[in-house]
């Protein structure tokens, strides 16, 4: 293996940036237990999982961590799971966080929302609440969740939150099971409920690196068709490309592993108190039960953030990397290697660029760059079908 280029400039820049790091935004998984058994989920566990319950942070531990992250400068906090209301004491944790002055978003499946919970949240209003719906029909919805009655439970939760005038947004994951109902869901949410709706097609492997969720992932061609079928979505992708198209690396930083916001302004905490640069990353974890948030942020995560690559891959000089979502965390989950390109994401990026008319140069060892005629033909077929 050839040695990687060494840049004093990039190390100096890294030191300057790391000195300005403030953990403005964090995500906290309070549990991985959930009443649903969604076919695409990357981290869910059964509600009665005793080992998970025993290892979750206690209320007191959550309060101590909230004290520390608030003092370190955190302003925005996401609470997610699993299902957050699977914890009987979640509202106590949430209230403590509210009293710290944090701006809080809640991710919930809606099934566990009761009139009492909705009323409480109306009094202790979050910044935002997001619920994932999995289909417009009961049949499709419950094929995804694997739980009878989950459709009605979710719809009831949505109604309760709306009746209490809470800031609610709905979303879905576009997968093979529900792809035929994406537009019906959009019309229902935006037209009938008057709420904001979005969908995402990017499915990850599970945090134990199991590829089970990938069985319901859409093909790259199906992902791009969904982009093109929604004029607003296609326009936003075009604007994104105009802004971010081109090399993602700052001068002298080609050898830095991370090029996202992870660990610079954001952090994640799992149900057992392990802190990482993002929720997907499972390789570098700091135990908040054995140290303070400040120690983990200032030292451990700072070292993770400025990790360097061990080899060149085609991602290093790719001009459309910003369009594919490739990052060390999803490479870890799918390839068990933070530096190994995720082939699926590479396909999506090249097909999307061609569909949107984005020009880019070919880069090292990329077969999707070497097959422009084939890919262009596929893109023309996609567009002609719309």
Q: What confidence score (pLDDT) does residue 283 get?
A: 87
Q: What confidence score (pLDDT) does residue 169 get?
A: 98
Q: What confidence score (pLDDT) does residue 28 get?
A: 98
- Weakest-pLDDT range from 10-24, 49-63, 362-376: 10-24
Q: What is the pLDDT of residues 191-211, one digit of tens each?
A: 999 999 999 998 999 988 899
Tokens of 218: 């859409």
Q: What confidence score (pLDDT) does residue 252 get?
A: 60
Strand-pair category, 103-108 with 274-276: unpaired
Count of CB atoms situated within 10 Å of the CB of 230 = 16
Banded model confidence at residue 14, pLDDT cuts 50, 70, 90: very low
Report which DSSP code applies to 33.
B
As a whole-number percent, the residues of the chain with pLDDT over 70 amount to 87
Average pLDDT (24-28) is 96
As a whole-number percent, the residues of the chain with pLDDT over 90 amount to 62
Which CATH number does 14-218+257-305 carry? 3.20.20.70
- Weakest-pLDDT range from 92-101, 149-158, 201-210: 201-210
The CA angle 191-196-200, to the nearest 5 degrees, is: 110
Name the E strands within the chain.
25-29, 76-80, 103-108, 128-132, 168-173, 196-200, 266-269, 274-276, 286-287
Answer whether 47's CB lies under 8 Å from 96's CB. no
Q: What confidence score (pLDDT) does residue 253 get?
A: 64
Taking the C-alpha atoms of residue 189 and residue 343, their distance in angstroms, rounded to an integer, is: 33
Is the confidence at residue 12, as pLDDT, over 50? no
Average pLDDT (302-329) is 84
Average pLDDT (106-115) is 96
Is the confidence at residue 62, as pLDDT, over 50? yes
Helix (H, G, I), strand (E, B) or coil at 95: helix
Q: What is the pLDDT of residues 344-386, one digit of tens each?
A: 999 998 898 888 887 777 776 788 887 654 545 555 555 455 4
Q: In what order do the strands lie in the sheet with 25-29?
A: 196-200, 168-173, 128-132, 103-108, 76-80, 25-29, 266-269, 274-276, 286-287
Is the confidence at residue 228, as pLDDT, over 60? yes
Helical ranges in 283-386 per DSSP H? 293-295, 301-305, 328-335, 343-355, 367-370, 372-385
Answer whether 78's CB lies under 8 Å from 169's CB. no
As a residue count, the chain comes to 386
The CA angle 386-321-305, to the nearest 5 degrees, is: 140
Average pLDDT (283-301) is 95
The residues facing 9 across adjacent strands are none
Taking the C-alpha atoms of residue 208 and residue 206, their distance in angstroms, rounded to an integer, is: 5
Boundaries of every domain in the chain: 14-218+257-305, 231-254+311-386
Mean pLDDT estimate for the chain: 87
Higher per-residue pLDDT: 333 or 15: 333
Average pLDDT (223-251) is 75
Is the confidence at residue 277, as pLDDT, over 60? yes
Q: What confidence score (pLDDT) does residue 151 get?
A: 97
Q: What confidence score (pLDDT) does residue 374 get?
A: 52
Taking the C-alpha atoms of residue 259 and residue 322, their distance in angstroms, rounded to an integer, is: 10
Average pLDDT (320-341) is 87
- Weakest-pLDDT range from 72-86, 126-140, 267-281, 310-324: 310-324
Residues 247-260: b if buried by 16+ CB within 10 A, e if exposed: bbbeebbbbbbbbb
**End-to-end C-alpha distance for the chain, whole angstroms:** 47
Q: What confidence score (pLDDT) does residue 321 get?
A: 78
């Amino acid at each position: 293996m050839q040695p990687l280029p060494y840049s004093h400039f990039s190390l100096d820049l890294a030191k300057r940036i790391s000195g300005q790091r403030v953990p403005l935004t964090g995500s906290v998984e309070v549990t991985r237990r959930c009443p649903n058994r969604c076919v695409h989920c990357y981290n869910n566990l059964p509600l009665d999982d005793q080992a998970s319950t025993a290892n979750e942070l206690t209320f007191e531990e959550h309060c101590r961590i909230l004290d520390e992250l608030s003092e370190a400068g955190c302003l925005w906090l996401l609470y997610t799971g699993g299902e957050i209301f699977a914890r009987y004491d979640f509202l106590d944790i949430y209230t403590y966080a509210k009293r710290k002055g944090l701006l809080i978003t809640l991710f919930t499946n809606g099934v566990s929302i009761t009139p009492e919970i909705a009323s409480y949240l109306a009094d202790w209003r979050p910044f935002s609440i997001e619920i994932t719906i999995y289909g417009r029909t009961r049949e499709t919805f419950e094929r995804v969740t694997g739980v009878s009655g989950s459709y009605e439970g979710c719809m009831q939760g949505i109604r309760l939150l709306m009746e209490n005038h809470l800031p609610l947004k709905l979303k879905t994951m576009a997968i093979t099971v529900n792809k035929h109902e994406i537009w019906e869901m959009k019309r229902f949410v935006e037209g009938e409920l008057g709420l904001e709706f979005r969908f995402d097609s990017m499915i990850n492997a599970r945090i134990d690196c199991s590829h089970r969720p990938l069985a319901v992932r859409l093909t790259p061609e199906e992902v791009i068709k969904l982009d093109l079928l929604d004029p607003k979505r296609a326009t936003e992708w075009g604007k994104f490309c105009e802004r971010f198209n081109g090399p993602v690396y700052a001068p002298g930083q080609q050898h830095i592993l991370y090029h996202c916001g992870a660990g610079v302004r954001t952090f994640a905490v799992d149900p057992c108190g392990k802190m990482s640069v993002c929720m997907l990353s499972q390789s570098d974890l700091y135990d908040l039960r054995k140290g303070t948030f400040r120690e983990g942020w200032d030292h451990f995560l700072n070292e993770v953030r400025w990790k360097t690559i061990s080899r060149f891959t085609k991602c290093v000089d790719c001009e459309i990397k910003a369009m594919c979502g490739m990052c060390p965390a999803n490479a870890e989950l799918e390839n068990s290697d933070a530096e190994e390109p995720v082939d699926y994401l590479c396909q999506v990026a090249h097909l999307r660029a061609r569909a949107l008319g984005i020009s880019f140069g070919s880069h090292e060892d990329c077969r999707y760059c070497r097959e422009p005629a084939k890919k262009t033909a596929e893109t023309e077929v996609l567009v002609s079908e719309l």
